[in-house]
């Protein structure tokens, strides 16, 4: 599968906080300059690159003289606001040396949860890439709250890969890839050269958190690979301190770990649904409804055992099996109060129960995506 990277034309590259800030000590300007030079080389070869960069909070902590990551949200937001200035200026200067412009893009979950804003973000990023501008993307840490955070920039990078329908996601970290166990505590651990994204064994291997500077760990990278695979993007997890790592990876050199996509890419509308991290409600289904969804059919009210949450028509809902497994996302044809009244009933009874009928399905198959 490594040969697929040689022909990849659109890439999303994510660099972690530990790399960007030299393990939290200060912005590693030499490393930023090196990545910028490699991205410039890729541009000259006709490839498009979007960069998702962590490091704003860590850079702000360094500028403010804080040694430990604060827990208070207002302190994190203040650090992000200070650090973002340092980070953007450093990237702008690094790319300018190669005749490239950079653009700052700050995203919140709400930007990708709303269909119109999702399309606007995609259009903006696609236009920047067409203009040979490097988008430098980060979560908008200075304004978001816990309940709307992506949680880590690995997830954000995967969503950007989905958004742009990228060919590959490259996650640069301070590890050489995914190992069979944590190599820092298990010297006998072996690096996984490649495997199918979504294989549950990778999540079992990954476990554990990252450094005190970053919020993620190898588990978030494995999950990001699963999410990126939904749009057909392969994911490479590699050590960002390797010489010419981006150029060598895109030449097919067997560095790091390749977690490749195996499923047919989803259409943009269904990618948007699959990428939802916030849900307005949940529908608990019976076994017959689960079988119908897996057979590619719509969700009818008769297969719904319970309705959880308060939501309006058009909201994104999770569909759960009788065992509580989240198997699908979909757009509701009815509000929660209406859904509760028709749950478990035949579609023929909707008009009698509600006094009208908008659709015979609670979720139409065109507005529904299976998660696995």
Q: Is 24 helix (H, G, I), strand (E, B) or coil?
A: coil
Give the pLDDT of residue 358: 85
Chain centre distance of CA 29: 26
Q: Are 260 and 234 in contact (CB under 8 A)?
A: yes
Place of tokens 């500028």: 63
Burial class of residue 98 in the structure, from the number of CB atoms within 10 Å of its CB (0-12 exposed, 13-18 middle, 19+ buried): middle
pLDDT of 269 higher than 70 = no
CATH match for 279-370 among 1.20.1260.10, 3.40.50.300, 3.30.30.60, 2.30.130.10 = 2.30.130.10
Ramachandran sector of residue 166 (left: φ over 0; alpha: ψ -120 to 50; beta: rest): beta
Q: List, by residue range, all CATH 2.30.130.10 domains of the chain.
A: 279-370
Q: What is the pTM of this model?
A: 0.78
pLDDT of 213 higher than 70 = no
Percent of the chain with pLDDT over 70: 93
Q: Which of 169, 168, 197, 142 minimizes the C-alpha distance to 15?
A: 169
pLDDT of 331 higher than 50 = yes
Report pLDDT digits (tens) over 95-142.
999 999 999 999 887 787 777 788 788 889 999 999 999 999 988 766
For 80-105, what is the mean pLDDT?
94
Give the integer Cα–Cα distance in Å for 364 and 333.
8
Give the pLDDT of residue 214: 45
Q: Which of 367, 273, 280 minimizes the C-alpha distance to 315?
A: 280
pLDDT of 210 higher than 70 = no
Q: List, by residue range, all CATH 3.40.1160.10 domains of the chain.
A: 3-270
Beta strands in 97-221 (DSSP E): 102-107, 134-139, 168-173, 194-196
Give the pLDDT of residue 283: 98
Q: How many residues does the chain have?
A: 372
Give the integer Cα–Cα distance in Å for 169 and 222.
12
If pLDDT is split at 50, 70 and 90, which confidence band does 69 have? confident
Q: Is 228 helix (H, G, I), strand (E, B) or coil?
A: helix
Q: Which of 351, 372, 21, 50 minimizes the C-alpha distance to 212?
A: 21
Give the pLDDT of residue 97: 97
pLDDT of 211 higher than 70 = no
CATH match for 3-270 among 3.40.1160.10, 2.40.10.220, 1.10.1050.10, 3.40.50.300 = 3.40.1160.10
pLDDT of 199 higher than 80 = yes
Place of tokens 């023929």: 348
If pLDDT is split at 50, 70 and 90, which confidence band does 43 have? very high
pLDDT of 196 higher than 50 = yes
Q: Is 293 helix (H, G, I), strand (E, B) or coil?
A: helix
Report pLDDT digits (tens) over 151-195.
578 999 999 998 898 999 999 999 899 998 888 788 888 999 999
Q: Which of 165, 171, 297 minimizes the C-alpha distance to 222?
A: 171
Give the pLDDT of residue 23: 78
Percent of the chain with pLDDT over 90: 57
Q: Which of 310, 311, 308 minimizes the C-alpha distance to 319?
A: 308
If pLDDT is split at 50, 70 and 90, which confidence band does 260 have? very high
pLDDT of 148 higher than 70 = no
Chain centre distance of CA 149: 12
Cβ within 8 Å of residue 91, ≥6 positions away: 32, 36, 51, 53, 102, 134, 136
If pLDDT is split at 50, 70 and 90, which confidence band does 301 have? very high
Report pLDDT digits (tens) over 335-357.
999 999 999 999 999 999 999 99
Give the integer Cα–Cα distance in Å for 315 and 273.
10
pLDDT of 295 higher than 70 = yes
Give the pLDDT of residue 150: 63
pLDDT of 372 higher than 90 = no
Q: Which of 33, 101, 31, 39 minimizes the C-alpha distance to 250?
A: 39
Give the integer Cα–Cα distance in Å for 29 and 124.
27
pLDDT of 212 higher than 70 = no
If pLDDT is split at 50, 70 and 90, which confidence band does 73 have? confident
């Amino acid at each position: 599968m490594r040969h697929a990277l040689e022909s990849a034309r659109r890439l999303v590259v994510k660099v972690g906080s530990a790399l960007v800030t030299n393990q939290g000590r200060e912005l590693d300007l030499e490393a930023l300059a090196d990545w910028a030079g490699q991205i410039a080389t890729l541009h000259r070869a006709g490839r498009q690159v979007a960069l998702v960069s962590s490091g704003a909070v860590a850079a702000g902590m360094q500028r403010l003289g804080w040694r430990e990551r604060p827990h208070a949200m207002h302190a994190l937001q203040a650090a992000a606001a200070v650090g973002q200035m340092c980070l953007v200026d450093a990237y702008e200067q690094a790319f300018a040396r190669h005749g490239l412009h950079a653009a700052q893009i700050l995203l919140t979950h709400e930007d990708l949860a709303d269909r119109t804003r999702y399309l606007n973000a995609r259009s903006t990023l696609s236009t920047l890439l067409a203009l040979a501008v490097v988008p430098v993307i980060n979560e908008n840490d200075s304004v978001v709250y816990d309940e709307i955070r992506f949680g880590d920039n690995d997830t954000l990078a995967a969503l950007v890969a989905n958004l742009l329908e990228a060919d590959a996601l490259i996650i640069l970290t301070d590890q050489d890839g995914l190992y069979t166990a944590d190599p820092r505590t298990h010297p006998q651990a072996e690096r996984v050269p490649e495997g199918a994204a979504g294989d549950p064994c990778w999540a079992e291997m990954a476990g554990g958190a990252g450094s005190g500077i970053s919020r993620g760990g190898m588990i978030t990278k494995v999950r990001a690979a699963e999410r990126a695979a939904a749009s057909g993007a392969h994911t490479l997890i590699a050590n960002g301190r390797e010489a010419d790592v981006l150029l060598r990876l895109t030449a097919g050199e067997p560095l790091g770990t390749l977690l490749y996509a195996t499923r047919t890419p989803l259409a943009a509308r269904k990618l948007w649904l699959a990428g939802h991290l916030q849900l307005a409600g949940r529908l608990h289904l019976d076994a017959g409804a689960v079988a119908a969804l897996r057979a590619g059919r719509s969700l009818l009210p008769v297969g719904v055992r319970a309705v959880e949450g308060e939501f309006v028509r058009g909201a994104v809902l999770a569909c759960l099996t009788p065992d509580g497994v989240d198997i699908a996302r979909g757009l509701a044809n009815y509000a929660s109060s209406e859904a509760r009244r028709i749950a478990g009933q035949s579609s023929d009874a909707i008009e009698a129960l509600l006094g009208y009928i908008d659709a015979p399905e609670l979720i139409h198959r065109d507005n529904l995506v299976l998660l696995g």
